[in-house]
Amino acid sequence: MPLPLPAGPETLPERLGGPEGKRLVRRIRRQLFAALAAANLLGAAIVIACITWVLPGTPDAEFTRELAVANVLLGGAFLLAVIPLGVLWGEAWLRSGRRWLQEGRPPSEREVTAVLRSPGRLFLVHATTWFAAAVAFSLANALVDVELLPRVAFTVVLGGLTVSGFAYLLAERILRPLASAALSMHTVATPKLPGVVARTLLGWMLGNAVPFIGLAITAIFALAQRDATATELAVTMLVLSCTGLLVGWWITVLGARAVADPVSSLRHGIAQLGEGDLETRVEVYDGSVLGLLQAGFNDMAAGLEEREHLRDLYGRQVGDEVAEDALNRGVALGGEECEVAVLFADVVGSTAIAATRPPDEVVALLNRFFAVVVDEVHQRGGWINKFQGDAALAVFGAPATGDDAAARALATARAIDRRLPHDVPELVAGIGVAFGTAVAGQLGHENRFEFTVIGDPVNEASRLTELAKGYRPKVLASSTAVRAAGPFEGSLWRSAGSAELRGRPHATQLFQPA
């Protein structure tokens, strides 16, 4: 599947502006001229052959040769006189659809419409030219034999319709890069081309109806000219049937591909999107409802990518567990009681640091400090509830519950204390760990809320952190947290006496890493 062109006018000078756009236009013009010229020459040859040799009631051999020579000469003269006019007419219509590309600027709405409707305009040019040929050839042959007039008229008209249909389908395919470039920079809100039903009917008419009409007209001519032999009828039916089968097959293929290609691109895009590739985009090159489906798919993929980006940002801000809980809860406020362990880490002397260093250095230093805290907290299944200036509050046991919240919080405190002197030697931090019952849930208003933890363990951890700044190592935990951690983690901590924490009625038993 071809890669979609990048959207946005800012990419035009890099990809399609100036010389690149002119090269694309020249390549499309060469391909279009070669394809349409071949289709018209082949159609003219088949029409002249049918008039001269295939249809029943053909004159004798000498007259047939003279008739063939005359039609060939007339055809050459017609090509020299009328075809250039048709080319100029088509070029005048096509020029408005590609001028923006040659000038290296985004297309306007009118120019995008001109690009998308170029195949239909070429169909009209060919149909008009072939109708003029039908009139000219019919009158010229009628001067030789008046009975040739209806035969030539119907043959040229039917052949012209078939060739015009070829021209439409070939032009639609060859102009696809130009349509893709236009639609990548200017989308359309309404279809500019026939839809699936109209294209199917067009393929049926040109691929099936025209050959059958030709056979019906042949039968009428045979009945009108009773001197037609069985051999002449057999040859006529055989040639027209084979031609109809071949032409009908090729037109049906082109018509089916015009519908199947956009559907196939959508199928590939949906498959890639289902595999998790949210950057998937399909090429938009169709001006019908199928093009609107392609553009709609790209809008949907962009929306999913943006939603996933926002979800990732939200998860980075509050933690994956909290983000998942918020998706499950919706906008419901409130919370529930649970046993949590709270870790509080606060930088010592942050006021002096901010007064003696430039702000950008302070921010970089704090980010290095927070990187250590976040890394150790996430490794042990906790989440950062908030950053408060130069401090961080981490919670274990909510919203994801577990029996080892205290052990994980204490292990995290020890790990942070070990890493800080090596990773951030410029800073010293006090760390406090508490354990107890708290309420975890969404607090605020339905228009603006956050997931947080409220309760005594949060206050106790904050007080322990302030007290720990005067200890060595600067890590304190409550006896409640050490007892809840279990024998293994508890054995890694030693008693450090007791202290009355501000705002608490009783003294708190203190523990430090052993």
What separation in angstroms does the CA of 477 have from each of 173, 312, 382, 399, 511? Answer: 74, 33, 17, 22, 5
- pLDDT at position 9: 37
Q: Which class does domain 331-513 fall in?
A: alpha beta
Torsion (CA) 6, 7, 13, 16 in degrees, nearest 10: 60
**How are beta strands 493-499 and 334-347 bridged, if at all?**
unpaired
**How are beta strands 383-388 and 391-396 bridged, if at all?**
antiparallel
pLDDT in tens, 132-166: 888 887 887 777 777 777 777 877 888 888 888 77
Task: Give ranges for CATH 3.30.70.1230 in the chain.
Answer: 331-513
* 70-84, 165-179, 408-422: the lowest-pLDDT one: 70-84
12 pLDDT band, cuts 50/70/90, is very low
- pLDDT at position 4: 37
The average confidence (pLDDT) of the chain is 77
8 pLDDT band, cuts 50/70/90, is very low
**pLDDT exceeds cutoff 90 at 423:** yes
pLDDT in tens, 58-101: 554 445 566 667 777 777 777 676 667 777 777 776 777 777 77
Q: Which two structure tokens, joined as six digits, stand for 228? A: 């037609």
* Cβ-contact 410, 433 below 8 angstroms: yes
Taking residue 189's Cβ as centre, other Cβ atoms within 10 Å add up to 8
Most confident of 110-114, 436-440, 476-480: 476-480
* 218-222, 264-268, 440-444, 456-460: the lowest-pLDDT one: 218-222
Q: Where are the alpha helices (DSSP H) in 118-229?
A: 118-144, 148-174, 176-185, 196-204, 210-224
Which tops the pLDDT comparison, 304 or 443? 304
